[in-house]
Chains A and B, each alone.
Chain A
Amino acid sequence: MQIYLPIAEVTANVFVLLGIGGVAGLLSGMFGVGGGFLITPLLLFIGIPPAVAVATGVNQVVASSVSGVLAHFRRRTVDLVMGNVLLAGGLAGAGLGIWVFGLLKRLGQTELLVQLSYVLLLGLIGLLMLQESLRAIARSRRPDAPRRRLHQHLWVHRMPLKMKFRTSGLYISVIPPLMVGALTGVLAAIMGVGGGFLMVPAMIYLLGMPTKVVVGTSLYQITFVAAAATVMHAFTTGAVDIMLAIVLIVGGVVGAQVGTRLGVRLNAEQMRILLAVMVLAVAGRIGLDLVLPPDELYSIVVTGRP
């Protein structure tokens, strides 16, 4: 069944779109990652214009993170003070990202920007995840292996503008969380992802936050940054397609429920390797498109009315 997408101005198969949303939802249910990093590349593969794929992807992130953050609020596992500092950075970063996106769109390089950022980021994350899971498996086979130190004093603890984060039990400078928030904001605007895959490790290893508040706090920041990035995209690039977003969200909701149940039954470490391989495959596929001579050298961009 074909559906006409009013902003993308293309028709797409509604079941393919439901499937894309479903796969992303499945991943979020199984691993707790947003799955946004898969939606934008898959939309590109089926011929959705890059700007629409990014802007609508970030809209979908709002839906996939809002229910999570509400659950964490109920469990009181959100550090609101830290969340707001991350959010302040995130809003600034999203603004910067939107500006860069608009600039490159005028230069006809939207596709290149999206492809390059995906290859670099997914390649990096895939490799890190693969390394981490292989190390975890090796560790589980040698139970006497040395354990990681719980609390370390890092360079970030020596910066000025210190602030108390009561829920996290931290007294650190606001500069590192602002930077982390800003980076994820940039990613939200130019890649259409929540950025949790980057923010969660940064919160644990860089800021030293306790793991029980990390996920809720990151979801809090992601929900608001993604919402702000959606409105900014609607205003500057005009590329948010609500019809597309709704189909993706419906697919994602169902996928997440299936994923949650699957995740309980499967071996977490082996699944994490599978996820890493999948992330690397997506990065590799986009990378090939950049390196191999394209089938079609020419492309048409509609710039307006005469």
Chain B
Amino acid sequence: MRAAASAIAALLLLVAAAVSAQERPVLPPATPVPETGEQVLAGLSQTNVALTAGFEGLELLVFGAVWRSAPVPEDAEPLQVIVTVEGPPQRLAVWRKARRAGIWMNVEQVRVASAPSFYAVATSGRLAGSLSATEDLRHRVSIPLAIRAFGTLAGAADAPAFTDALIRLRTDAGLYRVAEESVELTRETLFRTTVALPAALTEGEYLVRVLLSRGGQVLDVTETAIAVRKAGLEGWLAALARDQPIAYGLLAVALAVAAGWGASAAFRYLRS
């Protein structure tokens, strides 16, 4: 009896340690791929995005097919396709203003360990019906699960209000989006969808995932990445500012001197 109790306690400790280490609940292993063995093959309209001065955002086309070794059983649940596009993760501080001495200023903050700079979910059906809660947790599909908040400062006890605000602000800015029933699925075999990437994109690797599911259970996942890079003059300037800030500062001064002096010289010449 005591041995069983201590074994259970040890197990609980292990689970607790695992939770704190990974900050995510421990889940039972994924259900094995069913007999029908359905797999997803996906392609993208492009694998590179160049951020230049004239970049005005773009429509990313995600398309593909479902490959299966055996026909779908008559009684099977309908197939669902879920597409996620996830921008490079960022460490954030979410601030909340309050009135101090008659002035509105940032008073409380919640730090967010990791939040994607961009996150879009497109589904063929309703998201809630396409993924069970467990599968959603495992694959971190819905927006709140893509964000990991930790440690609050300055007594912000209501941390969820901060993460809600983060999601709301980024949704308003077009950076976080859930588009249900926006994946076209033809005869449970061919699918396509477009995901709008806004003009203000952060540089980095954008991860595109395609999940197949039936009855809330994920059957297969495939991942590809798009490289979003600042290109041309902008890319060169951003890299210089990051890698050699002094040289970048001197360049800024030199350009300003040349422009200021050059312009006045030009106007003097025009007038004479």
Contact = CB atoms under 8 A, between A and B. Distances in A.
Interface of A: 2-4, 6-7, 9-11, 59-60, 62-67, 70-71, 108-109, 111-112, 116, 227, 230-235, 238, 240, 242-243, 245-246, 249-250, 253, 257, 290-294, 296-306
B91 interface: yes
Contacts of B96: 297-298
Interface of B: 51-56, 88-99, 102-106, 109, 111, 113-114, 117, 162, 165-166, 168-170, 199-200, 202, 230, 233-235, 237-238, 241-242, 245-246, 248-253, 255-257, 259-261, 263-265, 267
A71 B260 CA distance: 12
Nearest to B88: A305
A177 to B, nearest CB: 24
Contact of A249 (B89, B162, B230, B256): B256
A70 B88 CA distance: 47
B154 to A, nearest CB: 10
B252 A64 contact: no
A9 B202 contact: yes
Contacts of B109: 108
8 contacts: A7-B238, A66-B256, A109-B106, A231-B249, A253-B259, A290-B104, A300-B166, A303-B93
A230 B166 contact: no
A65 B241 CA distance: 24
A27 to B, nearest CB: 16
Contact of A299 (B53, B106, B246): B106
A231 B246 contact: yes
Contact of A63 (B97, B106, B235, B259): B259
A301 B99 CA distance: 20
Contact of A291 (B104, B168, B199): B104
Given A60-B256, A112-B105, A243-B237, A234 B245 contact: yes
A119 B54 CA distance: 35
Contacts of B169: 296, 298-300
A293 B105 CA distance: 10
Contacts of B235: 6
B248 A240 contact: yes
Given A6-B238, A71-B264, A235-B246, A298 B165 contact: yes
Contact of B237 (A6, A10, A70, A249): A6
Given A242-B255, A298-B169, A234 B105 contact: no
A306 B114 contact: yes
B53 A4 contact: yes
A297 B108 CA distance: 10
B92 to A, nearest CB: 6
A302 B102 CA distance: 27
Contacts of A297: 96-98, 165
Contacts of B111: 303
Contacts of A7: 237-238, 241
Given A2-B56, A243-B53, 8 more contacts: A3-B54, A234-B252, A249-B259, A249-B263, A253-B263, A290-B104, A297-B98, A298-B94
B249 A246 contact: no
A294 B97 contact: yes
A252 B238 CA distance: 24
A109 B105 contact: yes
B94 A300 contact: yes
Contact of B90 (A66, A108, A302): A302
Contacts of A304: 90-91
B238 A2 contact: no
Nearest to A234: B249
A70 B253 contact: no
A301 B97 CA distance: 13
Contacts of A234: 241, 245-246, 248-249, 252
Contacts of A10: 200
Contacts of A2: 54, 56, 199
A298 B108 CA distance: 10
* Interface hub of A71, A240, A298, A303 (most chain B Cβ within 10 A): A298
Given A300-B94, A301-B93, A245 B248 contact: no
A291 B264 contact: no
Contacts of B52: 4
A290 B103 CA distance: 5
B248 A298 contact: no
Contacts of B53: 3-4, 243
A65 B261 CA distance: 9
A59 B252 contact: yes
A11 B52 CA distance: 11
Nearest to A236: B245
Contacts of B51: 4, 6
Nearest to B166: A300
A108 B95 CA distance: 8
